[in-house]
A = this chain, B = another copy of it.
């Protein structure tokens, strides 16, 4: 069993840049499975690698544009990667969202680091609150952990979504208690947890994971009310990477067929079997009353983090405009009108997220939290508008995005020349450039990165109905009714 020191021993030398980051993922001997096979070195697996590249951009940005990708931290008393920082002002949340949009633009996909970032912000304040009430030492532990992570410049992932089993039952009522992650035993060094977390974004590309409860708990769910940090290569962890639409294109068709050969997202099912967590890395242990505020704060942060999708929107709008140009129709009024509509929807999302950052408020720990109503409104728009933007992109692109031959056909001596002859668009446009743009639109609307741009936009940080419940809670309906009654001329005592 490892001590905390041992656990951090491998991270003495901080990760310096993107390449360094990729190197840091090798040789960890993790239990990773994809399509029924154990993957010895995920970072070198052709299907997984694009997700590593996307994560690596968070390091590249910090190098190339430090004002955006990094920030000075009072905790570490040094400049740290912004993904390891707890925002302590509206301006820092604003900068965070600008960074997220820019990374969306650079990768055209999910760069997978926001869950961990938002988990950090959440733990900062929740541990503070528990300690203030109970006199525990969670906050100090957490700060120590975070300071180490900042110094080492590692990637912290967040793990939240339990399998849940029968959704009408609480954790302790499930026939299988493992359907929510829980403490199975404890000793003087730490606790041992079992269970699973689903849909985990970029877990395999991380160094550490913070696990948290997924919903409000009751007193009987004490063992399930647990927060802690573990190394992703801790004994007892198994990762099963989910299939994504067109994930194997990069292998079977080549870079062109992939659409966006360099970047992709990653989700996995993580199974925990008796995983040890030393007490120094335990940040909640039975304080079930705090599970609901933990979840609310996390989702408030995370729903605004979906501003990243406006970066993907930028790429898709640009791709659609390029496709129109290749077809020679960029001046048609209906084409221009569709590009404007796409932009309008994209910027509406952006505005909601940014307003939620600008109007953030501090919580007791000093961390700033996005405005809750606006954050829910922002995410709710994300569950709608990208679908319409994608439809408009396909409208502009034309049917060829789903009937186009493979790059391998292009390489074939017999049919390659025929494709070059007949897929010619306007003069001066390379056939392969035309095809590449169409493949990118396919990738983002019905291909691998549509997973992140569409389906994840629906369900990440909570499905649409979850936002509606929060909006209902925050809508101050009694005040609104009083205003209406007054203007209607109803005496104020009446209901």
Contacts and interface: CB of A to CB of B under 8 A. Distances in A.
A189 interface: no
A150 B191 CA distance: 68
B402 A244 contact: yes
Interface stretch (A217-225, A291-299, A421-429): A421-429
**Integer count of this chain's copies in the complex:** 4
A33 interface: yes
Interface string A239-255: 01111111010001101
B458 A263 contact: no
Interface string A354-386: 111011000000000000011001101101100
Interface stretch (A7-15, A76-84, A151-159, A172-180): A172-180
Interface stretch (A128-136, A137-145, A462-470): A462-470
A239 to B, nearest CB: 9
A319 B488 contact: yes
A71 interface: no
A265 B480 CA distance: 21
A199 interface: yes
Interface string A315-356: 111110110010111001110110110011001101110111
Contact of A242 (B405, B424, B479, B489): B405
A399 B318 contact: no
Contacts of A358: 94, 354-355, 358-359
Given A168-B328, A433-B494, 9 more contacts: A105-B483, A166-B425, A176-B424, A199-B403, A317-B480, A334-B337, A394-B454, A395-B464, A437-B485
A318 B196 contact: no
Nearest to A244: B402
A166 B327 CA distance: 7
A115 interface: no
A16 interface: no
A374 B403 contact: no
Contacts of A327: 167
Contacts of A418: 196, 238, 240, 269, 271
